[in-house]
Amino acid sequence: MDISEANGRAAREAEDTSGRAAHEALAVVLQIRDSELCVLLWKRALPPHEGCWSLPGGRLRADESLGASIRRQLAQKVDVRDLSHLEQLETRSDPGRDPRRRTLATAYLGLVPAHVDPVVPDDTGWHPAADLPPMAFDHAAIVHSGRQRLRAKLSYTNVGFALAPPEFTMSELSGYYRAALGHDVAATNLRRVLLRRGQIEDTGRCVPSGRSGGRPAALFSFRERTLQITDAFAVLRPPSTSL
């Protein structure tokens, strides 16, 4: 779908004058890119908030569920199909959140693994989640909620599987956790914690040594690639306190 067609669809979706509250599905799509947690944003070409960035998504059809709606819109509007995890995040119902009409928004958190590089449209791009550009509506607050949800779940679930490729070194995995949590994570401590919780396992394979030699790095993988609660009361803390 080209930009003019996408904007035309957005305009049609906004023209419902029935007086009923509209319902939209939005997605906070996060990925670790160049050692930084990034969010996928779409630049608006029409008012309100013309020229600002927004979360991908749109109006819910009468014949679809929220989950089906956000997957459809991510595929059609920003060509993202390689989600490793998708979960409902929150619903926003402030009567003034959309100046055009009363609109409820149900937001989802979606994760794309680091080894995947989706091809997105020209008006869509990845932005540092901690340094957002000018944002439309209440979307900046929704991105913040998505970051907080991810940080929390990294502590007590195996959701790291959704950020990492199928196999990884502990140095690589600690980098993904560092980017998502916003503080340093020692690879040795992370390995100990995740092995104890049964989240990861040694594959028995190694990364070949480079020209400089050195000990080959062991490759690990997550035991499960679906969400599992492994330590309900755990917290991964900054290095000033213990893991």
- Tell me the CATH number at 120: 3.90.79.10
Sign of CA dihedral 151, 156, 162, 168: positive
In a domain, 228, yes or no: no
The tens-digit pLDDT sequence of the chain (243 residues) is 454 454 444 444 444 445 688 999 999 999 999 999 999 999 999 999 999 999 999 999 999 999 999 999 999 999 999 899 999 999 999 999 999 999 999 999 999 999 999 999 999 999 999 999 999 999 999 999 999 999 999 999 999 999 999 999 999 999 999 999 999 999 999 999 999 999 999 999 999 876 666 788 999 999 999 999 999 988 888 876 544
Whether 28 and 74 map to the same domain: the answer is: yes
Instruction: Give the number of domains in the chain.
Output: 2
Instruction: Give me the pLDDT at residue 7, please.
Output: 46
CB 56 within 8 A of CB 74: yes
Biggest alpha carbon–alpha carbon distance for the chain: 69
In a domain, 234, yes or no: no
What's CA 202's distance to the chain center, in Å? 26
Is-cis flag, bond preceding 238, omega within 30? no
Does this model's pTM top 0.85? yes
In a domain, 229, yes or no: no
In a domain, 231, yes or no: no
Instruction: Give me the pLDDT at residue 18, please.
Output: 54
Instruction: Give me the pLDDT at residue 239, please.
Output: 76
Instruction: Give me the pLDDT at residue 14, please.
Output: 45
Whether 45 and 84 map to the same domain: the answer is: yes
Q: Work out the burial of residue 34: count CB atoms within 10 Å of its CB; fewer than 13 is exposed, 13-18 middle, 19 or more buried.
A: exposed
CA trace torsion 172, 178, 181, 187 (10° rounding): 70
Whether 169 and 148 map to the same domain: the answer is: no
Q: What domain range includes position 169?
A: 157-222
- Tell me the CATH number at 211: 1.10.10.10
Instruction: Give me the pLDDT at residue 3, please.
Output: 45
